């Protein structure tokens, strides 16, 4: 392994907090940085996909899974400036995953030993962190190299809204019990979810605004009363009460896929909950869903397709029936760009943590979504 190279004004001590998975494309080292700062002119040098809060020093903070940063550089290596002791990241060079950074902390992680030519780099947040924010400070070129102008944003955009199924909870585990193989975070990868897979096939920028355990009005097993997914949707930083994401004018997705309802309906109602019958829960769910669709329609305008997604639950058909009825009601009001997408497949194995979809399942669901989107009159 090569000797770590610190940024100017930083310490050269190798961070013991940063575990870096092996890189086929080169050598990876991590350097702790007690005087951590953004790379020079950082914001002009990377393209951001996902919701972030921007700081005056050029750094960005974020909470949602799947947020990614893309850059271009010329040279034999690149440094990734991060401040995050909670999340995991994949680093891709020229379209191939070269390393996984596991809870890197306040570090500059270097990927060296590359051919001395122009490269593309992509850093993607694999995990959820609703309790804290990560921070990204840009890319740094190896000696003799240069960070180039950021890549252009893609002309196609798609947004995914949902719960753990959308976030990729435990999807790379290969076993339903994750207690002995690193836990949920080590076995989650938002970049391998059905949404991310479909977006890449469409060559689209995408957001994954998903929060495990939350529903439209009822959370998993009736827990965390007083909040639901709608409490957090408008935020860039999930742990900051009152935070509001400042939507850039450039973010105008042509499709928004909403997958909320598994947590509302997948467990029986408990004594003491607000709803005493499934019918009462369905009524509250439908009312809230219509309000949420109103918000999205106001935000994105009449041309965006709002896809109301549902899947089969083991214990009830209320989820599928309620979402289908919601779409029918919107269509009767004259909004024919609200569509219903029901997905199920006999090949789903649910071998992710805690019976969640596996990577194989996400590939199958992505294929089903591809077929569904192909039937829409999209004008990208």
Are 336 and 296 contacting, i.e. CB atoms less than 8 angstroms apart? no
Look up 109 and say whether it is catalytic: no
The conformational region for residue 283 under phi > 0 = left, psi -120 to 50 = alpha, else beta, is alpha
Are 253 and 305 contacting, i.e. CB atoms less than 8 angstroms apart? no
The two three-digit tokens of residue 241, written as one number: 């009460």
Among 63, 109, 164, 358, the active-site one is 164
> CB-based contacts of 228: which residues, under 8 Å, 6+ apart?
214, 215, 216, 217, 218, 219, 288
* Number of other CB atoms surrounding residue 159 within 10 Å: 27
Name beta bridge partners: 208.
160
Q: How far apart are the first and last CA of the chain?
A: 46
CA trace torsion 93, 352, 163, 274 (10° rounding): -160
- The rounded distance, in Å, linking the Cα atoms of 341 and 321 is 12
- The rounded distance, in Å, linking the Cα atoms of 200 and 77 is 25
CA separation, residue 8 to residues 37, 58, 258, 280, 310 (Å): 10, 17, 45, 61, 51
Phi, psi of 108 (to 5 degrees): -115, 115
CA separation, residue 151 to residues 154, 192, 342 (Å): 9, 22, 35
Helix (H) or strand (E) segment spanning residue 300: helix 278-300
Tokens 């199920």 -> residue: 344
CA separation, residue 168 to residues 96, 182, 193, 356, 362 (Å): 20, 15, 5, 8, 8
Which residues have a catalytic role annotated?
164
């Amino acid at each position: 392994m090569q000797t770590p190279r610190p940024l100017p004004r930083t310490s050269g001590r190798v961070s013991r907090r940063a575990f870096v998975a092996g890189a086929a494309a080169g050598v990876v080292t991590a350097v702790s940085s007690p005087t951590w700062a953004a790379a020079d002119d950082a914001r002009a040098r990377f393209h951001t996909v996902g919701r972030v809060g921007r700081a005056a020093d050029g750094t960005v903070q974020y909470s949602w899974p799947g947020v990614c940063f893309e850059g271009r550089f010329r040279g034999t290596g690149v440094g990734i400036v991060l401040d995050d002791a909670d999340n995991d990241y994949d680093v891709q060079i020229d379209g191939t995953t070269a390393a996984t950074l596991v809870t890197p902390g306040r570090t500059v992680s270097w990927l060296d030993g590359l051919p001395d030519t122009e490269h593309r780099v992509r850093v993607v947040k694999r995990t959820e962190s609703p309790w804290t924010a990560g921070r990204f400070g840009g890319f740094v070129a190896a000696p003799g190299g240069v960070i180039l102008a950021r890549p252009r944003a893609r002309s196609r955009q798609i947004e995914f809204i949902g719960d753990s199924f959308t976030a990729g909870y435990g999807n790379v585990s290969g076993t339903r019990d994750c207690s002995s193989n690193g836990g949920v975070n080590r076995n989650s990868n938002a970049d391998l979810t059905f949404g991310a897979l479909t977006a890449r096939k469409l060559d689209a920028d995408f957001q994954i605004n998903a929060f495990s355990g939350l529903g439209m009005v009822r959370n998993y097993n009736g827990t965390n009363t007083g909040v639901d997914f709608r409490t957090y949707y408008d935020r860039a930083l999930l742990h900051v009460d009152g935070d509001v994401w400042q939507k850039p004018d450039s973010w105008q997705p042509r499709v928004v896929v909403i997958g909320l309802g598994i947590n509302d309906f997948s467990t029986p109602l408990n004594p003491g909950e607000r709803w005493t019958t499934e019918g009462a829960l369905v009524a509250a769910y439908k009312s809230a869903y219509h309000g949420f669709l109103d918000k999205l329609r106001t935000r994105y305008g009449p041309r965006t397709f709002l896809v109301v997604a549902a899947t089969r639950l083991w214990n009830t058909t209320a989820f599928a029936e309620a979402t289908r009825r919601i779409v029918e009601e919107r269509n009767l009001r004259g909004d024919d760009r609200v569509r219903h997408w029901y997905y199920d497949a006999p090949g789903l194995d649910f071998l992710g943590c805690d019976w969640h979809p596996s990577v194989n399942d996400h590939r199958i669901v992505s294929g089903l979504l591809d077929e569904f989107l192909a039937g829409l009159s999209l004008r990208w």
